[in-house]
Amino acid sequence: MLDAYVAKGLGDYLDLMQPLTPMFHLAYVILVNRLALFGNQFRFPFEGFVTLHYVMFLFFPFGWLWVQLGKSGPAPFARIVEGGIPFWIPGISFGLSGLHFILTILLIVLWFSEARAPRNDYDFRKVRGWSYLVLPLVLWGFVYPFRPGEQGEFVFLSYTGLWSSPFGVLMNPTSTFLLGLLTFIYPRVNLKLFIGSASVFLMIALVAARTSPLDWPMAFLAGLNLLLGFILAIKRRKAIAAEKPEAIASP
The whole-model pTM stands at 0.88
The fraction of the chain above a pLDDT of 70, given in percent, is 82
Cα 91 vs. chain centroid, distance in angstroms?
18
Structural contact between residues 154 and 147, judged by C-beta atoms closer than 8 angstroms:
yes
**pLDDT at 175 exceeding the cut of 90:** yes
**Alpha helices (runs of H) in the chain, residue ranges in sequence order:** 2-17, 21-38, 43-57, 62-72, 75-83, 98-116, 135-143, 171-185, 191-208, 216-243, 245-249
Q: For 176-199, how does the pLDDT look when each residue is reduced to its tens digit (9 = 90+)?
A: 999 999 999 999 999 999 999 999
Q: For 52-88, how does the pLDDT look when each residue is reduced to its tens digit (9 = 90+)?
A: 999 999 999 888 888 777 777 666 666 666 666 676 6
Structural contact between residues 66 and 144, judged by C-beta atoms closer than 8 angstroms:
no
Domain boundaries, the chain: 2-120+138-249
Q: What is the pLDDT of residue 165?
A: 86
- What number is the average pLDDT over the span 92-103? 84
**pLDDT at 28 exceeding the cut of 70:** yes
Please indicate whether residue 86 or residue 104 has the higher confidence score (pLDDT).
104
Q: Which of 17-31, 59-73, 160-174 has the lowest mean pLDDT?
A: 59-73
- What number is the average pLDDT over the span 95-106? 89
Q: What is the pLDDT of residue 11?
A: 85
- What number is the average pLDDT over the span 203-214? 85
Give the other-Cβ count within 10 Å of 117's Cβ. 8
Phi and psi, residue 154, nearest 5°: -110, 120
Structural contact between residues 215 and 205, judged by C-beta atoms closer than 8 angstroms:
yes
- What number is the average pLDDT over the span 121-133? 94
| C-beta pairs of 112-118 under 8 Å, 24+ apart in sequence | 112/51, 113/190, 113/192, 113/193, 114/47, 114/190, 114/193, 115/44, 115/47, 115/48, 115/50, 115/51, 118/40, 118/43, 118/44, 118/47, 118/190
Structural contact between residues 9 and 60, judged by C-beta atoms closer than 8 angstroms:
no
The fraction of the chain above a pLDDT of 90, given in percent, is 56
Q: Biggest alpha carbon distance in the chain? A: 64
pLDDT band at 224 (very low <50, low <70, confident <90, very high): very high
Phi and psi, residue 170, nearest 5°: -120, 145
pLDDT band at 162 (very low <50, low <70, confident <90, very high): low
DSSP track, 45-102: HHHHHHHHHHHHHTTTTHHHHHHHHHHHS-HHHHHHHHH---S---GGGGGGSHHHHH
Q: What is the pLDDT of residue 169?
A: 94
Q: What is the pLDDT of residue 34?
A: 95
**pLDDT at 152 exceeding the cut of 50:** no
End-to-end CA distance of the chain: 55
- What number is the average pLDDT over the span 206-235? 91
Q: What is the pLDDT of residue 62?
A: 83
**What letter would DSSP give residue 212?**
-
- CA–CA distances in Å: residue 157 to residues 83, 165, 229: 37, 8, 34
Q: What is the pLDDT of residue 193?
A: 98
The SS3 of residue 171 is helix
